[in-house]
Amino acid sequence: MQASPVPDALRRQRSVGHVALSVARMPGGATRVTDLFEAGPLRLRLPRPEPGPMEAVLLNSAGGIACGDRFTIEARLGANADLVLTTTAAEKIYRSDGPVTRLDVALTLEPEAALAWLPQETILFDGARLARGFSAEMAADARLTLFEALVFGRAAKGEVMRDGRLADSWRIRRAGRLAYADTFQLDGDIAATLARRAVAGGARAMATLLHLAPDAESRLDQARDLIQAADCEALSVEAGASAWNGMLVMRLLGAEIGPLRLAAARILEGFRGRPLPRVWQT
């Protein structure tokens, strides 16, 4: 008996995930969830409360993001709230047969709120097509720390990105005015583009640490000291930091994600003055 072909409508079925989280500072000083919406494979887990910022962990029950999937993550922090958002594991962006995967993150920080966005790395498979957007609206005295790491190809399988697309857009508004804008795009033979000295010098892993706070510029020397203390040179990780207009930006490049992740973990722990989320250590 010959199997019937799978209808095109089923083959083209795409996943839509959405998490919308609101937190507020309670009278006793702790940050707690005030509203939570979950849809599709995206879920939020809340570890047992411990002293310090509230921790929330994003979980993708699908195990990865396929071509044409659309994921949206929203977080709103009330005044004086303190939150760390992370992920259970590295996010995988699978090979696409044409459609673009869409991932959007929208953050809102009210006065004196503090948010650390610390997901684990995103791995792009050869042939992946990803459009990713970060946007944030924050009060003038809020504090926002964003960390994002990208890996191009699965090194353990000897894979390189001979074909694919990445469109990455970051827009941060502070007190209603645009404070930070960054657009990054790669298309076609990404491995060849990354091999260029003026682009990445052959690096297959990269990360950005962005910190916006009233005292961000005054922490530039500390950031550069942390780069030295992290033994980046010994790990074959290139890193640099700069600061202007109330923000600090650090970039890291490495041939592989393992050494870059180790250097980033050392830097993040020193910069934030506290351990990374527990899921980073499992």
In a domain, 9, yes or no: no
Q: How many domains does the chain have?
A: 1
pLDDT along the chain (282 residues), means of 10: 52 83 95 97 90 94 90 98 97 91 98 98 94 98 98 84 93 98 93 90 93 98 98 95 97 95 97 93 73
**Calpha distance 75→133 (Å, rounded):** 14
pLDDT at 89: 93
Cα separation of 218 and 216, whole Å? 6
Asked if the structure places residue 6 within a domain, the reply is no
Q: Note the pLDDT tens digit of each residue in 4-31.
A: 554 555 455 688 999 999 999 999 999 9
What are the tens digits of pLDDT across the range 77-130? 999 999 999 999 999 999 998 899 999 999 999 999 999 999 999 999 999 999
Mean pLDDT score of the chain, rounded to an integer?
Answer: 93
Burial class (CB in 10 A: 0-12, 13-18, 19+), 254: buried
Query: From the CA atom positions of the chain, what is the Rg in Å?
Result: 19
Q: Establish if 7 belongs to a structural domain.
A: no
Q: Answer yes or no: is 5 within a domain.
A: no
Q: Supply 166's token pair.
A: 């990445």
- Residue 75 domain-assigned (yes or no): yes
In this structure, what are the phi and psi dihedrals at residue 263, rounded to the nearest 5 degrees? -65, -45
Q: Which domain holds residue 192?
A: 14-281
Instruction: Output the 3-class SS for the chain.
Output: CCCCCCCHHHHCCCCEEEEEEEEEECCCCCEEEEEEEEECCEEEECCCCCCCCEEEEEEECCCCECCCCEEEEEEEECCCCEEEEEECCCEEECCCCCCCEEEEEEEEECCCCEEEECCCCEEECCCCEEEEEEEEEECCCCEEEEEEEEEECCHHHCCCCCCCEEEEEEEEEECCEEEEEEEEEEECCHHHHHHCCCCCCCCCEEEEEEEECCCCHHHHHHHHHHHHHCCCCCCCEEEEEEEECCEEEEEEEECCHHHHHHHHHHHHHHHHCCCCCHHHHC
User: Angle formed by the axes of helices 257-272 and 220-229, to 10°?
Assistant: 140
Q: Is residue 1 part of a domain?
A: no
Closest CA to 220 of 253, 252, 246: 246
Residue 114 lies in a domain: yes
Assess if residue 78 is contained within a domain. yes
